[in-house]
Chain A
Amino acid sequence: DAKTTQPPSMDCAEGRAANLPCNHSTISGNEYVYWYRQIHSQGPQYIIHGLKNNETNEMASLIITEDRKSSTLILPHATLRDTAVYYCIVRSNTGRRALTFGSGTRLQVQP
């Protein structure tokens, strides 16, 4: 699976949009981009995933660049409960399907 690069930490004001970047320049054609988050001492929670089109659900939006080498997770109106570590993961839909986690981005939402 392709390696991802994320900033180690970010701050965001409560009520503002949080934009979390992820670089995956070695992504191949059959690899999906997944985002998970982990609130302290809990199991990771799925947020969203996509292949090449932008995706939106009730939690977030995922913007994938046209060359697929990077993506941005957008939390449109961040709340204090969104404070967590956010993981960007690239996974193939064939072969080993287990998620490979990096260090993620620690998002701190400030009141």
Chain B
Amino acid sequence: DGGITQSPKYLFRKEGQNVTLSCEQNLNHDAMYWYRQDPGQGLRLIYYSQIVNDFQKGDIAEGYSVSREKKESFPLTVTSAQKNPTAFYLCASSIVTRGQGNTEAFFGQGTRLTVV
């Protein structure tokens, strides 16, 4: 099946450790995104990438890092510099269109990170 896969679904880490969240898509989408969601809140953009080997900071990039070495993969590292890392993390992908058209984003099922 085509889709976007995040793993693991639940992740526990000790404070001060870096942790990497996986996001893989087989939709052949150019663009990929990482969002963070806190309880009762909307999604906030961390990083996004419109093409391989290129990515841009979103609204809350501090304490996070990403790489985009392959079209299908966009891993997110939560570093020890992130002050409040416990959250629900969502990855998404979409086609990058030219011209007037636009396409929807497909989301993974999320990774719930708990730092203790």
For B107, give its contact among A32, A44, A100 (CB under 8 Å). Answer: A44
Check if B110 is an interface residue, CB within 8 A of chain A. yes
Our count of residue pairs bridging A and B at CB distance below 8 angstroms stands at: 58
Q: A101 CA to B58 CA in the complex, in Å? A: 12
Taking chain A's interface residues, is the majority helix, strand, or loop, or is none over half, making it mixed?
Answer: loop
Q: A45 CA to B109 CA in the complex, in Å? A: 10
Interface residues of A in 16-43 (CB under 8 A from B): 32, 34, 41-43
B43 adjacent to A44 (CB under 8 Å):
yes
Known contacts A93-B101, A93-B102; is A101 also within 8 Å of B110 by CB?
Answer: no
For A103, give its contact among B41, B97, B102 (CB under 8 Å). Answer: B41
By beta carbon, the residue of chain A nearest B95 is A97
A44 proximity list for chain B (CB < 8 A): 43, 90, 92, 105, 107
Please report B residues at the A interface, Cβ cutoff 8 Å. Answer: 31, 33, 35, 41-45, 48, 50, 56, 58-59, 88, 90, 92, 94, 96-97, 99-102, 104-110, 112
Please report A residues at the B interface, Cβ cutoff 8 Å. Answer: 32, 34, 41-46, 49, 87, 91, 93, 96-104
